[in-house]
Structure formats: structure tokens, C-alpha cells
Structure 1
């Protein structure tokens, strides 16, 4: 089913999402979390094996119940910024939805809506340093931090929401992770450690299928909205990531790729 979904739309989406957005500052790498923009509890790191027995109790299954993600936008006071966030939410929901047969209506896979008084857990969207998000559903407030101006674009906000939609269970990071952290990444990219500060090299650690990350059984996706740009964490302006496909473009922040969509829909068990 996954194969059918991303093959059916990959041609069209691939045409749209070819050119990465280039900034003088990569705000997604300034959030201070794991790989720059992911926050887990208690120092959890998805690139490191967690063999302790407390895993299930400590981390639990944190997919959003009923596929509903409440959010609080009250801290974003600028009307233009609020509009960009709402556009990103609409784009993500629309991309992962499907048309109801015989109608023009769409059935959402994920519903991202304003929080109500009955929502004990929600995503608090706020200003801060860099772009970052708490990973998964959990107790209390989950945060998404957006720095002005670099984080206020639709694709970057969708990127952070995909971190929020992911989860971790026992030893496994489950969901939508940074593409270049996949265990098979060396077949598709070359990581140029000479072009980064050695203290940043840990951001390029690889996951291990079945040990630190769940295999989504999808192909490597240069066009993923979750892929680092070619210059991520560069300290000399030269590429830290070189695609082995000379025609490949990485680091786009326009919208979800066909494979991103397939992974979200599979994670949240949305029917075809």
C-alpha cells in the first residue's frame, strides 16, 4: 500500500519540490535539541541504544490519540506569523488527507486544531531560538519554537510538526526522522566531516533499524522535507552532505514529499 501511494504521486510532487531553500543561517540547526531541532525527555537520543529496562515506562507510546493534535497559538502575536503557521497546518492536513470517493470532500488523516479546555496535552507554538519541537505525544505541554524570521515559512513549520507527530516506544524512535540519519544513508549520500566542527559530528550519527529506529520500509528520499540541506552544520561554507545522485536536490522546505505523506499515513494507520 505504501508503494502504491508514493509511486502514484511522486512524479507530480517531485516536479514541485526540486530546489532547496538556501538561507545564510540554517535556523533548524539552532534549536539546541537532538540533531538541532528535536527534544526528547531525559536526554533520550534516538541514535544511541537504550537497553535499560525502564524504556516502556519512561517513554511510552506517544502517538496523538485519535490522530488529533491540538495547538495553542496565543504566544504568536504577529498576524503575519500566525497566518504562516495556519497555512502550514492547512497544507500538512491537506497533503495527508484523501478525497472521499464520489465527492469533492477530503478525509483527514491528521487533524491539527486549536486546543480547547478539555485538551490536557497540546503543542504550544511560541517564539524562541531556532526552530524545534518536542517529539511525540506526552504529559503536559509539548512545545514548538519558531525564531523570527527564519522559521516562519510553511515548509519549516511542517517539518517541525512531523517531529511532533513522531513518537518513541521503549528503545525505538518511531515516525518521521531526519532522512540523512537512516542506516542506509551511506548508499545515497556522503557525509563530509572535514567541513564541520568535530563537536557537531554527532548530529550525523546513523540510526539502527530495529535497535534505535523503526524501519518504515520506504525508499531513501532526497526530496523529503525532513532531509538536511547540503550545508547543514558546515563551518566553512562547503557541503557537509553530497548526494551520490548528481541530479539530486536535498533540503527542500516547500512541502511534504510523496514518501513523507506515505510515512505519516502509515504511522497513523490511515486507510488508502
Structure 2
């Protein structure tokens, strides 16, 4: 805020109080659109926005996990859809899950993803643009499905959601009308095997999770994967600019931050494209 000189102490106190109050209000108002945008970007990335389900317990990689069952789907971290086989898996195959929020199993062989786009899906350019972005910035290739049994179908959904990794049969990336190209890039990341960046095992080195500000029912979106039974080593440092990272105000119940840097400062959500860290992480996986 610019500093001004005033003619008298009384005037200075009164005017500076007014000025500071006005400045603070202006700053709050200026921050509100950014905070709202962050909240909306993350809020879109839910399988069933505004809905909650029964908390369920299962196993994944031989370790206990919790998820919500909504409309018959097993919803994990808000926008990840688990299969019955993934929930029941107990062979410990995920124990070597690498960092950059990726996993070792469920990779697409040779980095080739076969896909279809449901004809009923509106604004299909967000899908083709997201695919083009992934192909321009990673070794992953996308090929229109012919007779392959493992493939992704982009279709209309209640929100934005995806299965995690290749599940071995037809799987879906669900896109509501509010899911942008950036949200689609994010959901493709899940289909390739990426989890949310804030669930990294080492995240407490970089961020504070303010649980008192998280909306009820969404606490699981902020659980470290080590708390869900995963081992492995994180790749690089936590990437605040990752397309898989929440913003400071994602899933806030009261307009206050749910995630801050260690120094208490906030940061924006990023849903434009893959960051340098995203590219390094996917390169390590594929």
C-alpha cells in the first residue's frame, strides 16, 4: 500500500486508520475472486459434487484404506474411482510406488493409452486439447481404440473423475459441463497413475494441512499416502505448481486456507498444464 504524509498526528491516525481499513477491505475483495476460483477448480474435481456417501474400509496393496461409497462407486480422494479389485488387492504390489505422486502398478504398456470419446459428450475439444497437451509434454501416446480391451472412454459425468492407472478393462474419465481442459489434463493424470501431489509422504516438510478448515467429509483428500499403506520414495520436491496439486483454499469450509506453505503463505491452484515437476515425474514412470 502506498504511504502518505498527513498534516497532524490526530489526522494522521484517523486517516491512516481509514486508509488501512479501506486497503484491507480492497485486498480482501481482490483476494476473493482468486480464492473462489481456486475453490471452484478443485471442487469441480469430484466424482459427485455435493454428495457424500458411507465411509467404507477396504484394502489396497495389502494395507487398510478408507473411501466413500457414492452411487455404487468407490470414491477416493474426491475424484478417484477405485475398482472392487483394487480395494480388495492384498498382494502388496504398490509397495514400490515412486514419488511425484505416481504408482508402479497400473501403468499403460509402452506408455500407450487407447481411448474413445462418447458421442454424447459436449465440448469434445477439451478432451482433444488435453490429449494434445499430454502428447506434447510427455512420452505418453494416445491412440483411438479399435479392438483393445484396456482403454479409456471420456463420457458425461456428474463431476470430474477418473479411475487410477490402467485397470485392465474399459475405464472412464467422467466430465461434467464445468470440467475444463485443465481439469481434463488433471483427470488424465489419474488415469496414467498419478495421485494428488498433497498426498506425498514427504509433504509435511513443505506444507501445513489446516484440518480445522477442511469441509466435513473431505478430510481424506488430504491424507498422506503413507497413512494409507503406501511406501516408496517421493520424486524430487513437492511441486506447488503441479496440475495434480490442490490450492490453498481447496475444499475450505470457512474461506480460510486448508493448505499453506511452511511459512504460512498461501499459493494458487494451477490447472493450465503440466509443470516441470509433472513432466519429470511422468518421465520417471514411463
Name the TM-score, length of structure 1 as normaliser: 0.71
Question: Where do 1:1-272 residues align within 5 Å?
Answer: 22=38, 24=40, 26-31=43-48, 33-42=75-84, 44=86, 53-56=90-93, 61-78=105-122, 81-96=123-138, 109-116=139-146, 118-149=147-178, 151=179, 153-166=180-193, 176-208=194-226, 211-244=229-262, 249-268=267-286
| Aligned mates of 1:66, 1:23 — CA distance in 2 | 36
Deviation at 1:131, TM superposition (A): 0.7
Asked if 2 retains the 8 angstrom alpha-carbon contact of 1:76 and 1:82, the reply is no
Aligned to 2:22: none
CA RMSD of aligned residues (A): 2.8
Deviations 1:80-137 (A, max 9, x none): x1112101110111011xxxxxxxxxxxx11112111x21111011111111101111
SS at match of 2:115: strand
Deviations 1:22-72 (A, max 9, x none): 354711034462111111222857xxxx9x854459xx9421112110111
SS at match of 1:22: helix
SS at match of 2:45: helix
SS at match of 1:208: helix
Structure 2 vs 1, CA of residues 85 and 213 (structure 1 numbering), >3 Å: closer, same or farther? farther
Aligned to 2:13: none
SS at match of 2:226: coil
Asked if 2 retains the 8 angstrom alpha-carbon contact of 1:222 and 1:248, the reply is no
| Aligned mates of 1:202, 1:113 — CA distance in 2 | 34
Asked if 1 retains the 8 angstrom alpha-carbon contact of 2:39 and 2:249, the reply is no
| Aligned mates of 1:184, 1:208 — CA distance in 2 | 9
Asked if 1 retains the 8 angstrom alpha-carbon contact of 2:38 and 2:250, the reply is no
Asked if 2 retains the 8 angstrom alpha-carbon contact of 1:76 and 1:125, the reply is no
Name the TM-score, length of structure 2 as normaliser: 0.68
| Aligned mates of 1:261, 1:255 — CA distance in 2 | 10
Structure possessing the higher radius of gyration over alpha carbons? 2
Deviation at 1:185, TM superposition (A): 1.2
| Aligned mates of 1:135, 1:53 — CA distance in 2 | 17
Asked if 1 retains the 8 angstrom alpha-carbon contact of 2:38 and 2:268, the reply is no
